[in-house]
Amino acid sequence: MSKKDAVKFVILRSIGNFLVLFALFGVVATFGPALYYELSFRLLQFRGVQFHISEQNTSIRQTAVRSDAPGFSDVLNSSAKQILTPPDTDFSILIPKIGASSRIFPNVDPSNKELFLPILQEGVAHAEGTVFPGMGGNVYLFAHSTDNFWDVGRYNAIFYLLKDLAPGDEVVVFFEGVRHNYVVSGSQIVDAEDVSLLTEAQGGEEQLILQTCWPPGTTWKRLLVFAKPK
């Protein structure tokens, strides 16, 4: 092999290695956060850790105990019984099964990325045009959305584990100091462009809808979890 051919070979091999490493980085950056929370959740289940909602002092605003899914420090050091406290009783959601507690930001335009993406770094968004707890119609909440794979880890991750909810699981929403109890009734995967439940949000029986991206770490589809007032 001539010196010129050897240089070409080294350059091509370097480019190939770079492309392989870049592809691996993309996969890890996209699905890594979801795998992290999935593993944490499974370890909590293995240890028999259960989350319960505080029954005391929920009539005033409080400081958040947890604003995302449990991490490894919680998994390794937590006791078998954990208490969830609403970050803000004006508007918050708590899901005991997955150890989630987060503030909800009201009246967020789900079609305006420039508006909702910064909010999803802080908590859960309530879709503008849908009703609030205690009213007739759809209470539509969404979290974890992203524009680029390198931004996935920046967004609130509490809805990564919505897929683990099953009929009968409890969801609690605090709104204007009042606790509203819901029970999961089912779930559905829909196209990202499907906005039928947003445009037909008002009137009829009350229904809580939780939305996240599906599969976790992508924006290909939407996973919807439905819950009815308890």
pLDDT of residue 91: 97
Number of domain units in the chain: 1
Q: Averaged over 111-122, what is the pLDDT? A: 84
| pLDDT at residue 92 tops 60 | yes
Which amino acid is it at 140?
Answer: Y
| pLDDT at residue 71 tops 70 | no
| pLDDT at residue 217 tops 70 | no
Task: Please check whether residue 176 is in contact with residue 170, taking contact to mean a CB–CB distance below 8 angstroms.
Answer: no
pLDDT of residue 106: 96
CATH number of the domain bearing residue 64: 2.40.260.10
pLDDT of residue 58: 45
pLDDT of residue 54: 72
Dump pLDDT digits (tens) for 122-153: 889 999 999 999 998 999 999 875 545 555 55
| pLDDT at residue 174 tops 90 | yes
Query: Could you tell me the pTM of the whole model?
Result: 0.73
| pLDDT at residue 3 tops 50 | yes
To the nearest whole number, what is the mean pLDDT of the chain? 77
Task: Please check whether residue 53 is in contact with residue 66, taking contact to mean a CB–CB distance below 8 angstroms.
Answer: no
pLDDT of residue 63: 34
Q: Averaged over 31-60, what is the pLDDT? A: 66
Task: Find the domain containing 43 and state its range.
Answer: 3-229
Structure-model confidence comparison of residues 138 and 42, the more confident one? 138
Q: Averaged over 71-100, what is the pLDDT? A: 78
